[in-house]
A and B are shown apart, each in its own frame.
Chain A
Amino acid sequence: MTLRKLDGKTLAEMFLQGAHHLKSNSQMIDALNVFPVPDGDTGTNMNLSMSSGAEEVKKVEEDHAGKVSQALAKGLLMGARGNSGVILSQLFRGFSKALEDKESITTKDFATALQGGVTTAYKAVMKPVEGTILTVAREAGEASAELAEKEEDFLPFIEGVVDAARTSLKGTPELLPVLKEVGVVDSGGQGLLTIYEGLLANLKGEELPEQSSTISMGDMVNAEHHKLAQDFMNTEDIEFGYCTEFMVKFEEDKLAETPYDEEAFRQTLSEHGDSLLVVSDEDLIKVHIHAEYPGNAMNLGQQYGSLINMKIENMREQHTSIVGEKKNTKPREKAEYGIVTVAMGEGIKKLFESLGASVVIQGGQTMNPSTQDISDAIVEAHANHVLILPNNKNITMAAEQAAELADVKAAVIPSKTIPQGMSALLGFNPEADISTNKEEMSSLMKHVKSGQITYAVRDTQIDGLSIEKGHFMGIFEGKISSAQKDKLETSKALLKEMIDEEEDEIVTVITGEKVDEQEIEALEAYLEEHFEDIEVEIHNGGQPIYSFIFSVE
């Protein structure tokens, strides 16, 4: 039988079967979805769009091919969901435009319509991405033009179009690297091919199987896994720890008791995990799921028959070994030496850590850590010998107490300032015993001169200076040496007093949290200009209260 003319009624039936075939494959298409946003909804979106189109087609009573196509296009436009749905609506908008006045159509008309759809679809995109539904539509459209030249019979014609679409779809991984990486074809393209297959099946009067044979379960599992890998994931974030795959072989007596319903089964399983795939035919169900309790998922499957080909992998183990952060379960070995120090400000904390401190307690002038805090830090340092640098005279007592209470050998190096603590640390010798270290480090810290810049919180008279609230004070070794309105001028005066050009070599500036770039630059310029033989080091300490901490040695 040859079919040279397609009337409206036949076309409508073809569309309906195309929509139906898409619907029964939408889950599979979802699983293929890796591009552009791997959220696994291409199949669902296309199905919802196409279903809306099909609803409109059903309303058409006239036997008019143009009107039928128009109804489809209108339904698609209204129901368009997602990127693929919008593209689909454009393809059929162009399609219907070309057939507007045709009561019945020939293969040539159909080919023109397909190409019209492609043209319209391409117009609506700024940067067409090849290797997607657009490519499949275009290549099938091109093939249809050639086919229509020599073929007037619809059956071989549509067969040729479907073949071209299938070939084009197979080529999509070559055009789009993300597809090749995962080893899948484009999901939108697959959706379009599925619709075309539906059209063809209707012409042939065939019933189509629920699942398209072009995709294997393996491909879908790959795609599901890829979706997860694209997330930025920490091992702790894996909610469902076991990648579980199994098949259920249906058994008559079990089915008699519990009839199988794929949709319901999928729904039930989805409560047990994610990355779920369920595929079934007359004899088998294949299941892939990431579950926390794989046994529960399998129990559910066992209601319908016996389990075969089971595979369970622990994804947390896999993930930790992949990211190389395999947790060491053995207790951490005790170090020979541990160093506990006290500091304020993130930057200073980091400076101390870089100098070798094992534990830095946050604290200082206005926030003295307690004996307990220091004791805890000694334990945390986890060492046979612990050296404590309080960096503040108010903390020395607490540190001494904590050292006495400690279960390990501990000694306090009575540093009074941050610069003292830092120079003391430089003298640390891991080879020497604790008393030698204490002696060496204590003597080293005496070689450093410490200065600080801070502001007055009230008017006062001290050390022969009258200070107004809000003025800046330069403190040299615990004594206020200058107080001025300007931060920079105070700093300069303090530095001038601290630095002895004959003896000193290095000035270290630790900047506080309320200091801006310009101030730092100005200070640096001043130092370079007035003390040209002296090396200047600037660190961001981020400490509160003290705008600058100076260390001169």
Chain B
Amino acid sequence: MSVDLSTKFGHITISNEVISTVAGGAAVECYGIVGMASKNQLRDGIAEMLRRENFLRGVVVRQEEEKLHIDMYIIVSYGTKISEVAHNVQSQVKYTLNKTVGLSVSSVNIFIQGVRVISE
């Protein structure tokens, strides 16, 4: 699947991999996220945190008609305000996609798959 843009010079096709890479990259720069989780975690029942190189498994890009939806599966740090961290991810992802690929995202859905407790 891919997203097509028309410009006066021709067409631009952006694959979903690009969108999820940009979205994932933007998300991990957000404060409070300690990792991306596999979207299959619920099914697997294993709290597996994805390593950096394959965190994209936690980003799902869906296209419904003309609209673009992104689902992100994340693990947040214990002791942060989770709703706020999620909200930051949403706005950061939306902004970054708009800035770098000129895409306007209809929704960024955040699934918090885990909380990592760090010994203090």
Residues of chain A touching chain B, judged by Cβ–Cβ distance below 8 Å, are 36-37, 39, 77-78, 80-83, 85-87, 89-90, 93-94, 97, 120, 123-127, 129, 230, 232
Tell me, in angstroms, the Cα distance from A230 to B32 when the chains sit together. Answer: 26
Q: Is B46 close to A, CB under 8 A? A: no
Is B91's CB under 8 angstroms from A86's CB?
no
Closest Cβ of chain A: how far from B89's Cβ, in Å?
Answer: 9
Which A residues are in CB contact (< 8 Å) with B95? Answer: 36-37, 39
The reply to whether A77 and B30 contact each other, CB–CB distance below 8 Å, is: no
Say yes or no: is B102 at the interface (Cβ < 8 Å to chain A).
Answer: yes
Q: Are A125 and B81 in contact (CB under 8 A)?
A: no
**What's the Cα separation between A97 and B120 when bound, in Å?**
8
- What residues of chain B lie closer than 8 Å to A126, measured between beta carbons? 28-29, 33-35
Q: Contact: B32 with A125, CB < 8 Å?
A: yes
Partner of A86, one of B32, B34, B35, B96: B32
Q: Mark B77-100, 1 if CB is under 8 A from A, else 0.
A: 101110011001001100110110
Q: Which B residues are in CB contact (< 8 Å) with A37?
A: 91-92, 95
Select which of B29, B80, B102, B118 is within 8 A of A36 by beta carbon.
B29
Give the CA-CA distance A269 to B76 in the complex, in Å: 41
Q: Which residue of A lies closest to B87 (CB)?
A: A82
27 pairs from A and B in contact (CB 8 Å cutoff): A36-B30, A37-B91, A39-B91, A77-B79, A81-B84, A82-B88, A83-B30, A83-B32, A83-B92, A86-B84, A86-B85, A87-B31, A89-B81, A90-B31, A90-B79, A93-B79, A94-B120, A123-B34, A124-B31, A124-B34, A124-B77, A125-B30, A125-B34, A125-B77, A126-B28, A129-B29, A230-B99
Could you say which residues of chain A place their CB within 8 Å of the CB of B29? Answer: 36, 126-127, 129
Q: Which residue of B lies closest to A123 (CB)?
A: B118
Given the interface pairs A126-B34, A126-B35, the reply to whether A86 lies near B80 with Cβ below 8 Å is yes
Chain A CB within 10 Å — which of B30, B76, B79 has the most?
Answer: B79
Flag if A120 contacts B120 (CB, 8 Å). yes
Once A97-B120, A120-B120 are accepted as A-B contacts, the answer to whether A90 and B28 lie under 8 Å apart by CB is no
Residues of B within 8 A of A86 (CB): 31-32, 80-81, 84-85, 88
What's the Cα separation between A97 and B95 when bound, in Å? 35
Assembly CA distance A87 to B77 (angstroms): 11
Complex: A126 Cα to B33 Cα, angstroms: 6
Q: Are A120 and B102 in contact (CB under 8 A)?
A: no
| CB closest residue in chain B, given A41 | B91
Q: In chain B between 10 and 58, which residues have their CB closer than 8 angstroms to a CB of chain A? A: 28-35
The CA-CA distance from A251 to B34 in the complex, in Å, is 56
CB neighbours (8 Å) of A85 from chain B are: 81, 84
Say yes or no: A83-B88 contact (C-beta < 8 A), given A89-B81, A124-B79, A126-B33: yes
Most buried by B among A78, A85, A126: A126
A90 x B91 contact (CB < 8 A): no
Q: Closest A residue to B75 by CB, please name it.
A: A126
In the assembled complex, which residues on chain A have CB atoms less than 8 Å from the CB atom of B98?
232
Q: With A124-B34, A126-B33, A127-B28 in contact, is A82–B84 under 8 Å at CB?
A: yes
Contact A80 B81 (CB under 8 A): yes
Pick the most buried of B77, B85, B92: most chain A CB atoms within 10 A of its CB.
B77
Residue of B31, B92, B102 near A125 (CB, 8 A) is B31
B120–A78 touching, CB < 8 Å: no
Contact between chains at A90 and B80 (CB < 8 Å): yes
C-alpha spacing A77/B102, complex, angstroms: 34
In the bound assembly, the distance between CA atoms of A83 and B91 in angstroms comes to: 10
Residues in chain A near residue B102, CB distance under 8 A: 232
| Nearest CB of A to B45, in Å | 24
Give chain B residues whose Cβ lies under 8 Å from the Cβ of A129: 29
- Per the bound structure, the CA–CA distance linking A218 and B83 in Å amounts to 36
By the criterion CB–CB under 8 Å, are A120 and B31 in contact?
A: no
| A80-B84 contact, Cβ under 8 Å, with A90-B79, A123-B77, A129-B29 | yes
Q: What CA separation (Å) do A230 and B102 show in the bound complex? A: 12
The 5 closest A-B pairs by CB, nearest first: A124-B77, A80-B81, A37-B95, A126-B28, A83-B88
Contact string against A for B residues 100-120, beta-carbon threshold 8 Å, 1 for contact and 0 otherwise: 001000000000000000101
Within 8 Å CB of B32, what residues of A?
A: 83, 86, 90, 124-125
Q: Are B92 and A124 in contact (CB under 8 A)?
A: no
Choice from A81, A89, A125, A232 contacting B33 with Cβ under 8 Å: A125
Q: Are B33 and A120 in contact (CB under 8 A)?
A: no
Can you name the residue of chain A whose Cβ is closest to the Cβ of B79? Answer: A93
**How many angstroms from the CA of A77 to the CA of B30 in the assembled complex?**
17
- Residues of B within 8 Å of A124, CB to CB, are 31-32, 34, 76-77, 79-80, 118
Taking A81-B84, A90-B79, A126-B33 as known contacts, 7 extra A-B pairs with beta carbons closer than 8 A to each other, sorted by chain A number, are A37-B92, A77-B79, A77-B80, A86-B84, A124-B76, A125-B33, A126-B34
CA distance A37 to B88 in the complex (A): 9
Cβ of A93: which chain B residues have Cβ within 8 Å of it?
A: 79
CA distance A125 to B31 in the complex (A): 5
